[in-house]
Amino acid sequence: MTKPDMRSCLQLIKPYQPGKPVEEVERELGLKGVIKMASNENPLGPSPLAVEAMKENVEQMHVYPDGNCYYLKEKLAAKIKVKPEQLIFGNGSDEIIACLAKTYINPGDEAVMVAPSFSQYDIAMHIMGGTPRHVPLTGKDFEYDLDAVLEAINEKTRFVFLCSPNNPTGTILRKQELERFIDKLPDSVMIILDQAYLEYASDPDHVTGLEYIEQGHPVISLRTFSKIYGLAGLRIGYGIAPPEVISEINRVRGPFNVNAMAQVGARAAIDDDQHLEQSRKMVNEAREQLTEGFAELGLKPVPDQANFCFVDLKVDSREAFQALLRRGVIVRTGDIFGFPTYIRLTYGTPEQNKRFLSNLKEVLDELK
């Protein structure tokens, strides 16, 4: 076929390998009740208030969404005590990452990020012809080394991506560390603080990001309704930043990038403190249950402040993945993060965790 050449910077992006829907896995393997503990979703589902609000609004779907998310913006701004002009919404926070790169990255520009971390940072940079620079997390607990991040910054650096709690390790950045880092950071570098799992972090020293934005630093905090709010299917996330930054990113945002149902669902979910509390409680209990279960198998997950854990199974995680899949449990393998004996496991309900643990025991006996 003759066609235009793909842009050369896209050669650096691995072709996307979509996972199969759970129903398809069940059909292929002849199984029922397959559980997915792979995508850091909330197994409790969405907030009942969000479900109710969406049902009430379904007959309004012939109307285009509000391109400015006016009511959602007002409501969220009041809740988290920022100005509405400091907020931007996206089709998931994924879209805001892409918009940031479109707004600020010229070919040859660089972004510093830790490894392992969320893959969309690399992709967003490559799409714009930019270069990601990776700084490894350190030690067995995958801690941030912000001095090493500083050393990796040069005159081409536009962004530093910091994910806290970090995907896939669940580790966090602490206020004192970030403060010292910001003081030394050149003014022309923006910090993209990805806080998709913020609501799960219980450490009082965990950064919120808002204090630095308030002080006028070029920081954007990215958050999402996909994780604790249980609305991943709606695709809605947001960024909080100084108004100048928001106004610049708005130039590249599509006119109706957040669908109307997502705006309705998110507005209602913001009010549901009970759902948030239940979700946190479930995750805290799951962490205890799984840590104990892993210990019985001689395994120790990386200490996390998220709704998932990263754990070294000490066997090939692709083989473990296949063996768990045959038993109806889907997890994320660590090879995609550069750690081929690790898996990332999303905390589930007590029954799901129990099932995972008994299956894992069988799988490890089989593979060792």
Ligand X SMILES: Cc1ncc(COP(=O)(O)O)c(C=O)c1O
CB of 226 to ligand X, least distance (A): 3
Identify which of residues 167 and 171 has a Cβ nearer to ligand X in the complex: 167
In the numeric block, which tokens belong to residue 68? Answer: 């400015």
Is 93 a binding residue for ligand X by CB under 6 A? The answer is: yes
Is 92 a binding residue for ligand X by CB under 6 A? The answer is: yes
Binds ligand X (CB under 6 A): choice among 237, 242, 265, 301: 237
CB of 194 to ligand X, least distance (A): 5
Question: Of 92-100, 124-132, 148-156, 260-268, which segment contacts ligand X by CB under 6 A?
Answer: 92-100
Rounded distance between C-alpha atoms, residue 77 and residue 243, angstroms: 13
Identify which of residues 118 and 142 has a Cβ nearer to ligand X in the complex: 118
Judge contact between 195 and 306, C-beta under 8 A. Answer: no
Is 101 a binding residue for ligand X by CB under 6 A? The answer is: no
Rounded distance between C-alpha atoms, residue 102 and residue 252, angstroms: 7
Question: Of 91-99, 148-156, 317-325, 349-357, which segment contacts ligand X by CB under 6 A?
Answer: 91-99
Binds ligand X (CB under 6 A): choice among 194, 199, 272, 304: 194
Is 171 a binding residue for ligand X by CB under 6 A? The answer is: no
Pairing of strands 157-163, 190-194: parallel
Is 170 a binding residue for ligand X by CB under 6 A? The answer is: no
Question: Of 86-94, 138-146, 270-278, 350-358, which segment contacts ligand X by CB under 6 A?
Answer: 86-94
DSSP lists the bridge partners of residue 223 as 238
Q: Which of residues 295-354 bind ligand X (CB under 6 A)?
A: none
Binds ligand X (CB under 6 A): choice among 35, 40, 99, 142: 40
Beta carbons within 8 Å of 129's beta carbon, 6+ residues apart: 7, 9, 105, 106, 107, 108
Binds ligand X (CB under 6 A): choice among 42, 47, 167, 353: 167
Binds ligand X (CB under 6 A): choice among 76, 112, 196, 268: 196
Binds ligand X (CB under 6 A): choice among 36, 53, 54, 94: 94
Minimal CB distance residue for ligand X: 92
Binds ligand X (CB under 6 A): choice among 160, 163, 191, 270: 163
Binding mask 217-236 for ligand X (x = CB under 6 A): -------x-x-----x----
Judge contact between 122 and 129, C-beta under 8 A. Answer: no
Is 164 a binding residue for ligand X by CB under 6 A? The answer is: no
CB of 197 to ligand X, least distance (A): 7
CB of 237 to ligand X, least distance (A): 3
Q: Which spans of this chain sit near ligand X (rule: CB under 6 A)?
A: 40, 92-94, 118, 163, 167, 194, 196, 224, 226, 232, 237
